[in-house]
Amino acid sequence: MLSRVSLVDQWRSIEVGLSPRWDEARLLFAAPGRASLDRAASLLRPAEPALSPQGVRFRWSRDDENGLAALLGRLDAEGLGGTLELLSTRERATVGPTRRARTGPATLAAAWDGALAELPPDWSDLYGEIELGSSDYLDRAALMLSPVNPSRAGGPGFRFRCARVYGYGASAEMVRRCLERCDAEGITGQVRILRTLSDTRPVATQGPVWYVGGKAV
């Protein structure tokens, strides 16, 4: 009978295949039984775990790469057998004109700035969308964007409302701050403004209502 491969050994096997420039790794721990996953999430708390249908997702910075082995060793010590899978990595930025991480705005925050710059100066309300580069980002992005009260869009992304002066929706500054938090997490995607209104003046109401697909947003 084959012996079970420890999580520490699984991580070492993953680590040797990473790019020399890796800065952050996003991983998935999968194991049978909800009790095992709950316990694993508790032990992985320093790695900001998130439970998902596939298992426990977490991330780890290269600045403390040896610490991850120690953390996984705690799971091994409790007999929490399972599989460790690499979901994605983020690489350290390199200096030089030849590197282009992606076309268009460098960050979600920059994309937001560019979208706002195209609006008329008297805009008052908008309905926007953040389309994520991968569905793997959904759980983490939902947490980073929670102050803007996001709602799920049809694909891997979220929609939100924003008010410039008053009314229903987050402020433009709060939206930008949340997008900066996504950028810091290595979350990629696109920002679009779907609908805008100018110079609205709500009286005894929170502001205008848009109907999308027969539902008020």
- Write down how long the chain is: 217
Rounded mean pLDDT of the chain?
A: 83
Find out whether 208 and 125 touch, Cβ atoms under 8 Å: yes
Q: Is 91 exposed, middle or buried (0-12, 13-18, 19+ CB in 10 A)?
A: middle
Domains and CATH numbers, the chain: 7-91 (3.30.70.790), 108-207 (3.30.70)
The DSSP-derived string for 123-136 is EEEEEEEEEES-GG
Q: What is the pTM of this model?
A: 0.49
Assigned token pair, 145: 């964007």
Find out whether 85 and 10 touch, Cβ atoms under 8 Å: no
pLDDT in tens, 71-118: 899 999 999 989 999 998 887 654 443 333 344 447 999 999 999 998
Residue 128 sits at the vertex; the CA angle it makes with 188 and 114, to the nearest 5 degrees, is 65
Q: How far is CA 199 from the centre of its chain?
A: 33
pLDDT at 102: 42
pLDDT at 93: 55
Percent of the chain as helix, strand, coil, to the nearest 5: 35, 30, 35
According to DSSP H, which parts of 24-105 are helical?
34-43, 65-77
3-state secondary structure of 186: coil
pLDDT in tens, 29-61: 999 889 999 999 999 988 888 988 889 999 888
- Which element (helix H / strand E) includes 180? helix 172-184
- Give the whole-angstrom CA distance, residue 109 versus residue 67: 31
3-state secondary structure of 44: coil
pLDDT in tens, 163-211: 888 778 889 999 999 999 999 999 999 999 988 888 766 655 666 666 6
pLDDT at 95: 42
Q: Is 81 exposed, middle or buried (0-12, 13-18, 19+ CB in 10 A)?
A: middle
Find out whether 11 and 84 touch, Cβ atoms under 8 Å: yes
Q: How far is CA 42 from the centre of its chain?
A: 21
- For 55, half-sphere exposure in the C-beta direction (CA atoms, 13 angstrom radius) is 20
